[in-house]
Chain A
Amino acid sequence: MRPQSSDSQTGKIALPAEPEALPRASAGLRTLLARLSLLLDAIREDPRLLSGVILAALVVAAIFAPLIAPYPPLKYHPSVATQLPSAAHWLGTDALGRDQLSRVIYGARISLSVGAGAILLGGLIGCALGIVAGYLRGWVDQAITIVVDALLAFPSLILALAIAAALGSGVTNVVIALAIVRIPIYVRLARGQTLQLRALDYVTAARAVGTPAWRILLRHIFPNIFSPLLVQATLSISFAILDESILSFMGLGAQPPTPEWGTMINDAQPYLTGGIDPWMILGPALAITITVLSLNLLGDSLRDRLDPHTARQLGLSAAADTALLDVTTKQAEDATSD
C-alpha cells in the first residue's frame, strides 16, 4: 500500500506538464484518461473510494430512471402480483403486481434528493449561524449556542417525527423536518472552526484594512472551513436518508403510490410477517443499506484524507499534505487579495 502512494504522487506531478504539444482534441482525451488513472490509483490506495463509484451509479440511475427501469413504476398488473424474483422481475413484484426493481430505481430519486436536500438546507442554515456566532462572539454567540443546545436536547428522530407530523405528511415537509434536526451539528462545527480562524493573522489583517464583516465571513472564513463541513455533510446524508426511510416507513413521508424505499418496506411488511412473500422487502432494504453503507465509507475516507493526523497514520500522507497545502495557499491568497 505504501509504495503505491508515492507512485500516485509522482503521477500527479508529472501529468499536467506534458500535453502541450498535442492537438486539442487528443489533449482533452489525455486529460480525461489521466484523471481516470488518477482515480484508479486513488481507489487502489483506498478501496473505500469505490463506494463513490457506487453512489455515482445510483445518482445516474435516479436521474435516468425512465430509461433504465424495465417497467413503469406505477402500472398495476394484478395477474403477476406478489411474485418471487424471476428473470422477468429481478426483485419480484408487489401486492399490486408492480415491478419492484423499477420502483426501487424510481425510489432512489426521492431518497437521494430528500437526503441531499435536507443536508443542503440544514448545512447552509447551520453553517451561516455557526460562522456568525463564532465570528461575532458576545450575545449573538450566546443566543445561538443556547438555541442549538436546546435543539440537541431532543432525540433527533423524535423531533423530526413531531415536526413532520405537525407540518403534514409529504416529501417537502420531511426535508424541512430533517434539515431542522441537522442544523445544530453544522452550527457547532462551523462555530468551532471560525473561532480558530478568526484569531489567525490573515483575518486580523483583513479586519485591519477595513474589510466589512460579511466579506471576511464569505471570502476568508467560509472557504477555509469548507472541507470539514463537506466531510460532515457526506457522513450525515446517510443519517438523513436513514431517517427519511423511517419517516416514510411510519407513513409520514412520500405518499402512495409514489415509489419510495421506506414506503415500499411498509407495504411489504404484512406479506413478510404473514410469511406470504418475504422477498418483497429485499429490493428496498438492499437499496437503503447499500446507499447508506456507501455514503458512510465515502465519508470515512474523506475524513481520513482531510485530517492530517489520521491520514499520516494510514499512510495517506500525500493526500493529506496536498489538502494542507491547499488550505495554506488559500489563506495566503486571501490575505493578499484585500
Chain B
Amino acid sequence: MVTYIARRLLLMIPVALLVSFVTFMLIHLIPGDPARVLLGESATPQTVAALDHQLGLDKPLWAQYALWLGQALHGNLGQSIQLQQPVTTAIIQRLPVTAELGILALVVSVALAIPLGVMAAARRNTPFDWLVNIVSLLGTAIPNFVLGLVLILFLAVVLRPFPPGGYVPFTQDPLGNLRDIILPVITLAAGAVAGNMRQIRASMIEVLNQDYIRTARAKGLSQNRVYYIHALRNALLPMLTIVGLQAGAILSGAVVIETIFLWPGVGQLAIQSILAKDYPVVQGVVLLSALSYMLVNLLVDISYGVLDPRISLKSSQ
C-alpha cells in the first residue's frame, strides 16, 4: 500500500510540471504584447517595459518559465495588478469561503446521491425510480446559473426566507452564515446529485444482478443488509471515480455560483480577475484549482486501493 501511494505520488510529478507549464503559457495566449493589454492603451512605453520586466516577459521563454516555476514553488505567484497585493495572499484570504461552500456541497451531494441511487436501483421500474430518473435528467440539463436564479426568485424574492446573496463569516454570525450558505449549496450540489444518481443506480443494478447477491439473499439476509453491506461496497468503486469528477464539477461550479450569490470566494476572485485581465491572479487560481483537483483524484485512487486490494497489488507488480 505504501509503495502504491509512493508510486502514484511520483507519477504525479511530470503531470504537475506540465500543468504548471500550461498555466504559465496562458499569459502567452493573449494576442499581442501582454503587458500592453494588461495596462491598457494609455500606458507609456516606460510602464509597459517595467511590467514586461516585472513579469519577466523580456527574457527567453524557457527562462521565463524557470523563473515563474521557481517562484511558484516558493509560494510566490506574483503580484496582482488590480488588487495591489500578492496573488498568494489574495487567494489564501478567500480560500476558506470557497472551501466551506465546496466541501458542504460535496458532502450534501454524496449524502443525497448515494441513498437515492441505491433506492432507485432497489425499486427498479417503480414510480420512485421514474421520479429519480426524471429529476436527474432535468438536473443535468438545467444550467447551474439558471437554477441559482430560479432559487433566488422563489426563495429570496417571492417568499423571502433566504437572502438573495451575500456572506457573513461563520465566526462572526454562525446562524447568518448558515442562512447565507443554504441556497448556494443547494445550487452547487443539485447538478452533482442529478449527474450521479443515475450512475450510482446503474452500477448498483449491475452489482445486484451478480450471483453473490443471490447467494446473500438465499441465505436469508435482510434486504438492507444485502443492499448496503454486500452490494454497495462493490457498487462504490465506480462511484468513487464519480466523486473525483464531482470535485472538479464543484470547483468549476463555484466560479459561477459565487458570482451569482455574491459570495466572496476564490471563484468570484477568478471571474473578477478574468474580467479585469488581472493575469497573475487568473494563473494562480487556475494552478491552484488544477492542483487541488489532482489531489482529490489521487485520494480517490488511493481509496480504490483500500476498497479493492486487488488494484494496488496489480499495479505494484
Contacts and interface: CB of A to CB of B under 8 A. Distances in A.
B29 A153 contact: no
Interface string A256-290: 00000000010001001111001001000100111
A201 B304 CA distance: 36
Nearest to A162: B286
B129 to A, nearest CB: 15
Given A146-B15, A161-B270, A166 B29 contact: yes
B294 interface: yes
Given A154-B286, A154-B289, A245 B143 contact: yes
Nearest to B158: A275
Contact of A281 (B30, B140, B149, B165): B149
A269 B262 CA distance: 13
Interface string B238-262: 0000000000110111011001100
A158 B149 contact: no
A252 B277 CA distance: 12
Contacts of A285: 142-143, 146, 149-150
B18 A155 contact: no
Given A165-B282, A292-B140, A153 B157 contact: no
Contact of A158 (B144, B156, B270, B275): B270
A242 B289 CA distance: 20
Given A165-B282, A250-B256, A265-B146, A146 B30 contact: no
B259 A250 contact: yes
B164 A251 contact: no
B138 interface: yes
A92 to B, nearest CB: 15
Contact of A154 (B149, B279, B283, B290): B290
Interface residues of B, number: 53
Given A273-B152, A285-B146, A296 B141 contact: yes
A181 to B, nearest CB: 10
A297 B198 CA distance: 13
Interface string A300-317: 000000000000000000
A163 B16 CA distance: 19
**What size tier do the contact residues of chain A reach?**
35 or more
A157 interface: yes
B22 interface: yes
Interface string A122-164: 0000000000000000000000001101110111111101110
A168 B137 CA distance: 34
A111 to B, nearest CB: 11
Nearest to B14: A146
Interface of B: 14-16, 18-19, 21-22, 26-27, 29-31, 137-138, 140-146, 149-150, 152-153, 156-158, 164-165, 248-249, 251-253, 255-256, 259-260, 270-271, 274-275, 277, 279, 282-283, 285-286, 289-290, 293-294
The 6 A-B residue pairs whose C-beta atoms are closest, nearest first, are A157-B252, A150-B18, A166-B29, A293-B141, A165-B274, A292-B141
